[in-house]
């Protein structure tokens, strides 16, 4: 379950038109949602409130295994439509398998002029959190410099950190300041980073093959997904649209890499990756909102022409690590993923499998097999998502189970991690997380 602060940050990106999914760091996000989901440990509570569209507060407490808590504040320059935990779209609060839309060039906010002078300022977000009783402080500042350029500053201050000579032996969290500059043109997204603690410089870049999406396409996405143009006429296929190969998948390819080095630590690293993902279906099983004169079985459509699929491969030559992952949605409510990791130097390997299954209210047949498709609110087709069950198993003998759902107005996460090969301690950890937040 996303923390409230992460939900607000994603809402800020959406409001300002920034695509965080176009970063090289998020290349494997779809498969990670099924294979690397986090399971709560102990007992955790969080309560958050949005007094107004610009300011938010959040409080959290861990009751087990030790008692501690935190207080956080968030301020944004733009109004955010942040829902309460009882009416927020549940899928916006969890990591899940997704096939992302075509990348688009970011657009900035419209200029506002008064008496010949520009009066509007660039968007920004401020976030701070203090932990008790440790006194650790986390801070984040994000601002939109230009329509295609975003800057971020993150800081950590921990008074418990020992001297630098003892830090390497204790592995304690350290105080640090990190800078990030992200440049996204849609086709290419590059991120430059610097960390003050170890003097680490880094650059990441992702290149997307194929044509870019347009914001006009985004505004008419619902109509086009139903196979119709915005004016209600049949959709006319463009000559530059990709053709699906016989017996294959229609999709796009993205390639990227990263390089980082530290003169202080006298270390460096490099990695590269590639991702294939199917394009959002041009004629998925969607339906038109029936009017009084045109409602009936003709508005329901058949199965998708291809299963939503993502295939990724990563290679780190310096560490000798190779990773390949495959994830697909095999039915409306079931997605599966598999990943194989191998080290060419030590010959160590790991095979992981994961799945997610969506739970819905009632057993009403829904005309869409795609959870990402926009769903008009119709009383006779009510099919609200109530929760999701995730499971992961790997050759390390660890098995992780997680249920995330909503009980009345509270978001709940319940999970367990077990070791099947251990008879003395088969349960490694178990946890429960409860989250409530209001919008007013």
User: What SS3 state is found at 4?
Assistant: helix
Length of the chain equals: 440
**If residue 385 lies in a helix (H) or strand (E), which one and from where to where?**
strand 385-394
Residue 229 in any domain: the answer is no
User: Which domain, by its residues, includes 197?
Assistant: 4-107+119-160+174-211+250-280+306-360+385-439
Residues 110/31, Cβ–Cβ less than 8 Å: no
| 233 φ/ψ angles, rounded to the nearest 5 degrees | -80, 165
Q: Helix, strand or coil for residue 225? A: helix
Cβ atoms 199, 263 nearer than 8 A: yes
- Would you say residue 375 lies in a domain? no
Give the pLDDT band of residue 380 (cuts 50, 70, 90).
very low
CB 142 within 8 A of CB 175: no
* Higher pLDDT among residues 172 and 200, named by residue: 200
Query: Residue 332 sits in a domain of what CATH number?
Result: 2.40.160.10
CA–CA separation, 58 and 274 (whole Å): 38
The CB-side HSE value for 220 (13 A sphere, CA atoms) comes to 14
Three-state SS for 153? strand
Pairing status of strand 398-407 against strand 349-360? unpaired
CA distance 55 to 218: 29
Model pLDDT, residue 227:
39
Note whether residue 339 is domain-resident.
yes
> In sequence order, what are the beta bridge partners of 323?
314, 341
Domain assignment present for 294:
no
**Average per-residue pLDDT for the chain:** 82
- Whether 413 maps to a domain, the answer reads yes
| pLDDT (0 to 100) of residue 161 | 59
Q: What percent of the chain has pLDDT over 70?
A: 76
Q: pLDDT tier at 368 (50, 70, 90 boundaries)? A: very low
Any domain includes 217 = no
pLDDT at 22: 93
Least confident of 38-42, 92-96, 212-216, 222-226: 222-226
Mean pLDDT of 425-434: 92
Half-sphere exposure in the Cβ direction for 34 (13 Å, CA): 24
Residue 236 has pLDDT above 60, yes or no: no
E-state strands within 50-114: 55-64, 68-76, 113-114
pLDDT band at residue 103 using 50, 70 and 90 as cut-offs: confident
Q: Judge whether 204 lies within some domain.
A: yes
Measured distance CA(127)–CA(56) in Å, rounded: 9
Percent of the chain clearing pLDDT 90 (strictly above): 57
Q: Which residues lie closer than 8 Å to 404 by C-beta, 6 or more apart? A: 1, 93, 94, 387, 388, 390, 411, 412, 413, 414
Please tell me the total count of domains within the chain. Answer: 1
Of these ranges, 227-231, 278-282, 391-395, the one predicted with the greatest mean pLDDT is 391-395
Q: Looking at the domain assignment, is residue 322 inside a domain?
A: yes
**In 124-138, which positions are buried (b, 16+ CB within 10 angstroms) versus exposed (e)?**
bbebbbbbeeeebbb
pLDDT of 155 over the 70 cut: yes
Tokens 């000559």 label which residue?
A: 239
Specify the pairing of strand 321-329 against strand 55-64.
Answer: unpaired
Q: Give the tens place of pLDDT for each residue, 267-304.
A: 899 999 999 999 765 433 333 333 333 344 434 444 55
Model confidence at 372, pLDDT cuts 50, 70, 90, reads low
pLDDT at 26: 94
Predicted pLDDT of residue 234: 42
| Tokens read off for 26 | 């998020």
pLDDT tens profile 33-72: 999 999 999 999 999 999 888 999 999 999 888 899 999 9
Give CA–CA dist 420/392, Å, rounded: 13
Query: Once rounded to an integer, what is the mean pLDDT over residues 15-35?
Result: 93
Residue 419 has pLDDT above 50, yes or no: yes
């Amino acid at each position: 379950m996303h923390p409230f602060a992460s939900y607000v940050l994603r809402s800020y990106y959406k409001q300002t038109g920034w695509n965080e999914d176009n970063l090289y760091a998020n290349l494997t996000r779809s498969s990670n949602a099924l294979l690397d989901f986090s399971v709560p440990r102990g007992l955790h509570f969080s309560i958050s409130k949005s007094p107004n569209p610009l300011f938010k507060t959040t409080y959290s407490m861990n009751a087990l295994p030790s008692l501690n808590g935190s207080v956080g504040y968030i301020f944004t320059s733009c109004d955010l439509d942040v829902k309460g935990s009882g009416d927020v779209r549940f899928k916006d609060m969890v990591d899940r398998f997704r096939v992302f839309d075509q990348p688009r060039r970011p657009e900035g906010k419209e200029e506002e002029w008064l008496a010949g002078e520009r009066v509007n300022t660039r968007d920004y977000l401020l976030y701070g959190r203090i932990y008790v009783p440790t006194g650790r402080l986390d801070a984040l500042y994000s601002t939109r410099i230009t329509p295609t350029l975003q800057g971020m500053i993150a800081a950590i201050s921990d008074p418990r950190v020992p001297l630098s000579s003892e830090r390497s032996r204790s592995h304690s969290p350290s105080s640090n300041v990190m800078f990030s500059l992200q440049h996204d043109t849609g086709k290419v997204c590059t991120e430059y980073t610097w960390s003050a603690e170890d003097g680490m410089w880094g650059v990441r870049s992702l290149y997307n093959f194929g044509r870019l999406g347009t914001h006009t396409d985004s505004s008419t996405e619902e109509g086009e997904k139903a196979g119709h143009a915005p004016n209600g006429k049949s959709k006319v296929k463009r000559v530059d649209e990709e053709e699906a190969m016989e017996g294959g998948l229609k999709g796009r390819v993205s390639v990227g890499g990263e390089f980082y080095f530290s003169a202080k630590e006298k270390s460096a690293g490099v990695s590269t990756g590639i991702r294939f993902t199917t394009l959002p279906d041009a004629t998925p099983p969607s339906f038109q909102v029936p009017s009084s004169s045109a409602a009936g079985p003709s508005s329901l459509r058949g199965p998708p022409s291809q299963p939503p699929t993502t295939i990724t491969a990563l290679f780190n030559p310096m560490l000798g690590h190779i990773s390949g992952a495959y994830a697909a949605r095999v039915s409306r409510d079931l997605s599966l993923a598999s990943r194989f990791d191998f080290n060419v130097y030590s010959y160590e390997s790991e095979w992981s499998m994961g799945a997610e299954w969506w739970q819905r209210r009632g057993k009403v047949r829904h005309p869409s097999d795609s959870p990402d498709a926009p769903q008009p609110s119709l009383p006779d087709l009510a099919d609200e998502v109530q929760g999701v069950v995730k499971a992961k198993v790997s050759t390390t003998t660890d098995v992780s189970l997680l249920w995330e759902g909503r009980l009345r107005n509270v978001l709940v996460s319940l999970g367990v991690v077990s070791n099947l090969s251990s008879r003395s301690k088969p349960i490694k950890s178990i946890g429960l997380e409860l989250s409530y937040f209001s919008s007013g």
